[in-house]
Amino acid sequence: MDLNDTPEQAAFRTNVRSWLEDNKADAPAASGDSGDTAWIDSRRAWQDKLAEAGLAGLTWPKEFGGQGLGPIEQVIVNQEIASAHVPGILDVIGIGMLGPCIIAHGTDEQKSRYLGPMLHGDEVWCQLFSEPAAGSDLAAVQTRAIENEDGSYAITGQKVWTTNAQFSSYGLILARTSPDKHKHKGLTMFIVPMEGEGITIRGLRQISGEAEFNEVFFDDFVVPAENVVGGVDNGWGTALTVLMYERLTIGLGSEGFGYRSDRFAEAVGQDEAAKSDPEVRQRLGDLAAELLAVRFTSYRTLTALSKGQIPGPESGLAKVTTVNAAIAAGELIADVVGPEALDEDSEWAYMISFLPGLKSAGGTEAILRNTIGERVLGLPPEPRLDKGIPFSELRAKEKEAVSA
């Protein structure tokens, strides 16, 4: 049992640290408004600089501009970037999830066209999977892609919860090509440019009032056949690759939201009365234990990754723990501080407003617990009423049931 670097890792860390030391004067502010074009541009430039220094796409193969390194090195870079108080790469979604998917399923042309600009921040990417009626049940996407006579596709539908859409150049979209097949069997993945006729991007405001996500509307938006990734009607398999990398990215950056026990203890500890109140201490102790556990869970995940194991669905439990512990922390801090903690300018008001949305982001807790209960513990599945039914029929049935 060892949390220390091997000599090779220590040497790598030293290099990263000294590069950051030498270059951090060029880094933009670590946080900013995603609507601020100047800040976003400075983040792009910084990503380019990181990529040039070999500090972006660490786990990508060398032939695509990556470093061919392992998850431990990725974590070392993450840790050093955090210690240096500089931002990391802008396009976490592209480099962490979508790039690897293109590497796995894309054509040679796609790889050579898209991966380089993605890595350097010249073209930011977004993920166009979720829809208003396809959240936890992602395979229920209704966005249609209809083949034109010239072989191109016309895409029509609505995507939602799209991070970074407002400044992305490209997106990876999951759309239905064959509605008469079973819902998993009629989907196709496409690369779509994020501008042109037939695409509308609209910010989606959260409880806090900030637009953390976007809605993206497609109306007969035409993409050429060469933009298909992973084969027509094979989109579900392609999407699973993205989801696997999403799990991996989350597994490597668990404390990314800043939900740390020491930070919450500091907030509570600023009130002398709270510091010696047994009830406050009990609540703080409980949530701190949860967050400390998540930190060591991420080290366990990393150990497994470094032995070549892929994290299973149980890694999603860390997200459940984090969100619920942070909710408990928000309640506690606001109980201690009082209504003043709910001032719109307070970091705690922001956190309290942000967390309810985070709770169902990436799939509800209920779906996650189903998956873990069945795949990890081997518990029997729930009856599935949508099994083997063509998607179009399924939709008709739902409409009928609601109107009944």
Interface with another protein in residues 221-280 (CB under 8 A)? 261-262, 265-266, 268-269, 271-280
CB of 286 to another protein, least distance (A): 6
Q: Are 98 and 325 in contact (CB under 8 A)?
A: no
**Letter for the amino acid at 105?**
H
Positions in 120-149 near another protein (CB under 8 A): 130, 132-133, 135-137, 140
Among 151, 209, 278, 378, binds its own copies (CB under 8 A): 278
Q: Which of 86, 12, 88 has its CA nearest to residue 57?
A: 88
Q: Which of 175, 165, 173 is nearest to 213 (CA)?
A: 165
Partner from its own copies, another protein, none contacting 172, C-beta within 5 to 8 A by type: none
**DSSP, residue by residue, 291-348:** HHHHHHHHHHHHHHHHTTPPP-GGGHHHHHHHHHHHHHHHHHHHHHH-GGGGSTTSHH
Is residue 385 within the footprint of another protein (CB under 8 A)? yes
Stretch that binds its own copies, among 24-32, 220-228, 264-272, 379-387 (CB under 8 A): 379-387
Question: Nearest distance from residue 394's CB to its own copies, in Å?
Answer: 15
Q: What part of residues 307-346 is at the interface with another protein (CB under 8 A)?
A: 307, 314, 317, 320-321, 327, 334-344
Active-site residue, selected from the candidate residues 246, 279, 290, 382: 246
- Binding residues for another protein restricted to 55-84, rule: CB under 8 A: 72, 75
Binding residue for its own copies, selected from 22, 147, 262, 279, defined by CB under 8 A:
279
Q: Which residues pair with 125 in a beta bridge?
A: 170
State the Cα–Cα distance between residues 334 and 351, nearest whole angstrom: 11
DSSP sequence for 338-374: -GGGGSTTSHHHHHHHHHHHHHHTTS-HHHHHHHHHH
Catalytic annotation present for 246: yes
Which amino acid, one-letter code, is at 367? Answer: I
Residue in 151, 308, 381, 383 binding its own copies, rule: CB under 8 A: 383
How far apart are CB 393 and its own copies at their closest, in Å? 17
Q: Which does 67 bind (CB under 5 to 8 A by kind): its own copies, another protein, none?
A: none
From candidates 107, 373, 390, 392, binder to another protein by CB under 8 A:
373
Burial 217-250 (b: 16+ CB within 10 A, else e): bbeebebeeebbbbebbbbbebbebbbbbbbbbb
Q: Which residues are catalytic?
A: 246
The residues binding its own copies (CB under 8 A) are 277-282, 380, 383, 385, 401
